[in-house]
Structure 1
Amino acid sequence: MPSWNSRGLRGSMLEEMINLTNAKYREKGLALIQKVPTPITPINIDKENRHITLAYFEQKSTVDYIGVVQGIPVCFDAKECAVDTFNINNVHEHQINFMKEFEQQEGIAFLLIYYKKRDIYYYLPFQQLLEFWERAQQGGRKSFRFDELDGSYQIPMQNGCCIHYLEILKKDLNSRDIT
């Protein structure tokens, strides 16, 4: 089982920015998106400071966030990438399966990726993620490069702390053949 403290604070700043964005969306009545807690089993607890120092995940998580945007169910996972190449192994099979089932129920699934080197936030529609995933499963590249992505899905920063992904979600919705 993976150790809870072995992951450190990886992704915590990205998640904090998404949480701030989601709070603003909720305040304005635009969306209701919540962070999905990952159930853990504590192993070691620092009784003096009342902190968990070692724990294990009870089960595989699905995605980081789930909710609704003006009647449209959405789910997404947040990922950080230090370089221009995103390793597809950063997305697990159970997450792909969950997102696929979510979309089959007429929801919208996607990844929000922060490219640290470029300081760019990117909205990756599930359909494109699935293409990269299937390519890897069929023996192709086990990653995708930043230059393979559609630049129009970059997420604009606002106020230095908000990752305004709803505009790009709308673009994703408009690109789908929904009848």
Structure 2
Amino acid sequence: MATWNSRGLRGSKLEDMINTTNDVYMEKRLAVVQKIPTPITPVKMDNESRHITLAYFEKKSTVDYIGVAQGVPICFDAKECAKETFPMMNIHKHQIEFMDEFEAQGGIAFIILEFTNLDEMYYVPLRDIFKFYNRAESGGRKSFTYDEVDKSYRIRSAGEAKVHYLEMVNKDLQSRD
């Protein structure tokens, strides 16, 4: 069983921006997307602050977010990368399998990847994730680079939507027709 030990909330800035964007989408009736909490069993708590300081993961998580946008089921994970290389080990096999099953049911699965050093965010469709994953599994490079990311899928801000990913969902849908 995996152990969780608080080391700060990695990825919380990106997730906060996505959560704000999801609130805007819901308010404007564009999408209903929710953050999926990872189920944990607390082991130790700080009695003063009432914060969990040590816990066990109850089961493997699937993706960070799931919902529906204009009738299209979507699921995605939020990832951050401080360098211009993203290690494939940061996307787990069970997550890829879940996203594959999700798309087999007519949904759209992707990753929102922020290159924090460049202050740029990208929509990485599942088909690209498969390409990078299969390469790693067949003995090739175990990561993908900034240069390999399709720059036409760059996510921009739009008003209160700091991570306006619905534009890229639409672009992805159009490329499938």
TM-score (norm 1): 0.95
Quote how far apart the aligned CAs of 1:32 are: 0.1
The 2-side partners of 1:152 and 1:62 are apart by: 27
Quote how far apart the aligned CAs of 1:164 are: 0.3
Q: Which position in structure 1 is the counterpart of 2:15?
A: 15
Given residue 45 of structure 2, which amino acid in structure 1 is its aligned partner?
I
The 2-side partners of 1:87 and 1:149 are apart by: 13
Report if aligned partners of 2:21, 2:160 keep a CA contact under 8 Å in 1. no
Q: Which position in structure 2 is the counterpart of 1:46?
A: 46
Q: Which position in structure 2 is the counterpart of 1:123?
A: 123
The 1-side partners of 2:104 and 2:161 are apart by: 33
Quote how far apart the aligned CAs of 1:67 are: 0.2
Given residue 60 of structure 1, which amino acid in structure 2 is its aligned partner?
K
Instruction: Find out whether 1:171 has 2:165 as its counterpart.
Output: no
2:139 counterpart SS class:
coil
Q: Which has the higher mean CA deviation after the structures are superposed, 153-162 or 62-71?
A: 153-162
Given residue 90 of structure 1, which amino acid in structure 2 is its aligned partner?
N
Q: Residues 32-87 of structure 1: CA distance to partner in whole angstroms, max 9, x if unpaired?
A: 00000110000001223222111111110000000000110000000000011110
The 2-side partners of 1:20 and 1:5 are apart by: 26
What value does the CA root-mean-square deviation take over the aligned residues?
1.3
Change (3 A) 1:160 1:70: closer
TM-score (norm 2): 0.96
Identity of aligned residues (%): 60
Ranges in structure 2 where 5+ consecutive residues have no aligned partner: none
Aligned residues: 177
The 2-side partners of 1:104 and 1:7 are apart by: 36
2:26 counterpart SS class:
helix
